[in-house]
Amino acid sequence: MMDKKQQKEKMIELMSNFISLVSYKLPDDVESKLRELSEEESNQLAKTIYKTMFENQKIAYKLKRPSCQDTGVLQFFVKCGEDFPLIGQLESILRESTYKATKETPLRHNSVETFDEFNTGKNIGSGTPSIFWEVVEGSDKAEIYTYMAGGGCTLPGVATVLMPSEGYEGVVKFVLDRMTSYGINACPPLLVGVGIGTSVETAALNSKLALMRPVGSRNENENAAKLEKLLEDGINAIGLGPQGLKGSKSVMGVNVVNSARHPSTIGVAVNTGCWSHRRGKITFDRNLNYEIHTHKGVKL
Amino acid sequence: MNKKILTTPITDEDLKNIRIGDIIYLNGTLVTCRDVAHRRVVEGGIPLPIDLKGKAIFHAGPIVRETEDKKYEIVSIGPTTSMRMEKFEKQFIEKTGVKLIIGKGGMGKRTEEGCKTYKALHLVFPAGNAVYAATKVERIKDVYWTDLGMPESLWVCEVNEFGPLIVSIDAEGNNLFEQNKAEFNRKKEEQYEYISKQVGFIK
């Protein structure tokens, strides 16, 4: 039986390896969607770009090197059971795993302390990596999404609060406008996350949670699912193509995550994931046995 | 189709018949140069420690590994959003004589003017393909301004058939992204009209 210190070290080791894996191998849902989009593509320039992409992913996996140089500021979305033994240590575990993976993979140093304006050189800093919590009653498991949010696809992020009179029509306009301004440069084909809520921060968090949902999944609410489909087809019809250089399609999908709103407001936010959508999901049980959901057949 | 390869030092003449949408490859010297380096040159009036005349810059922040013999090796290198350098690029071209600006996504009016006036190109390397790009870098010759940290240092690279590079602004000032954008925006308006009629969920 491991003591707490040994358990902590083991989890840091596993999480560090998992972070490395996410840096050089795309999740299964993203890989298969890109394959599908490239097969449907008819534009010659776009085909050349897809070819480069698949070649890159192949070499990155072989050499175990980050497939994109911008390995982002690490973000973790945690659903932690109240009885998970390392619940109190989890923040420091994720922080230390990030530092370890940064040295060993290596990942790029992406933490610049604001106002003092210096790069910590460690990829961790004040509030980075960012960790978002949900505590689950009656569970002893920890479900962790890790996400490498690069600068390019972080840049289109935007949130606002609409008046109810602007309605979901206003939401559509808000999302579409962002696609043709900032979306072009965010490395399409994109995964678009739309968050609906009551205020900027609830909508913004929802929009990022939307990017954790698998490509091709649908919102359980019928109207929200309808909006996802309409936006997906609509943005595809714009034909941004890979790299925004024109093509048959624009996106891998549109995911909407929603929560209730104040009667007087509609909070809406957009977040984009680039084609190199490096997200991974791993679940630990109380003995630190793990299951990787996003990368089938991979061992750490 | 023949591979169109440009070799540094690049002359005005070399760029004459190249048009937006063309794909080219680069041999020679490519220097990473991004946000703060542009700001230093243009706003700070600080001269670059390397002569860029006829050479190429890359809007990129690589991952670099120090090897055992105190040399550097590129692990991953890929372009970053070029538009962030829009504010500075025209003056940067004027001050340095750089011929190729490689990055990601389009650039704006001022860079168009810079490319036209001083004869230069803006090109896109398909972003996110950083290991593929790293395999086209033969060696790192030098590094300057390391006080800016790994992503922002000036890494002087020797490259071989670096590409594919898609011409986004040519030396006549034509701008591929701006042309595409007009089409994208027109289609977007059509889609808005169509979708907005079907989302009247508040009744």
**Residues in chain A closer than 8 A to B181 (CB atoms):** 180, 184
> Which residues, in sequence order, are CB contacts of A126 under 8 Å at separation 6+?
A113, A114
CB nearest A244 (choices: B76, B105, B164): B105
| A177 and A216 assigned to the same domain | yes
pLDDT value at residue A176: 98
* CATH number of the domain residue B84 falls in: 3.20.130.10
| A142 and A286 assigned to the same domain | yes
Residues of the domain holding A217: 153-273
CB nearest A184 (choices: B61, B105, B202): B105
When pLDDT is cut at 50, 70 and 90, the band that residue B63 belongs to is confident
| A1 and A117 assigned to the same domain | yes
In chain A, the residue whose alpha carbon lies closest to the alpha carbon of B132 is: A56
Dig out the tokens for B126 from the structure: 């398909």
Q: Which of A162, A147, A153, A192 minimizes the C-alpha distance to A22?
A: A147
Residue B192 placed within a domain? no
| A135 and A100 assigned to the same domain | yes
For chain B, the domain total comes to 1
| A122 and A15 assigned to the same domain | yes
Residues of the domain holding B52: 4-175
| A261 and A287 assigned to the same domain | no
Residue B44 placed within a domain? yes
Q: What is the ipTM of this complex?
A: 0.92
Residue B37 placed within a domain? yes
Q: Cis peptide leading into B164, omega within 30 of 0?
A: yes
pLDDT value at residue A153: 93
Does the beta-carbon distance from B195 to A231 stay under 8 Å?
yes
Residue B188 placed within a domain? no
| A138 and A287 assigned to the same domain | yes
pLDDT in tens, B137-187: 999 999 999 999 888 999 999 999 999 999 999 999 999 999 999 999 999
Q: Which of B73, B93, B96, B74 minimizes the C-alpha distance to B82?
A: B93
**Residues in chain A closer than 8 A to B169 (CB atoms):** none
DSSP string, B153-195: SEEEEEEEEEEEEEEEE-TT--BHHHHHHHHHHHHHHHHHHHH
What integer best gives the mean pLDDT of chain A? 96
pLDDT value at residue B2: 66
pLDDT exceeds cutoff 70 at B1: no
**Residues in chain A closer than 8 A to B104 (CB atoms):** 152, 185, 187, 243
Residue B9 placed within a domain? yes
| A52 and A145 assigned to the same domain | yes
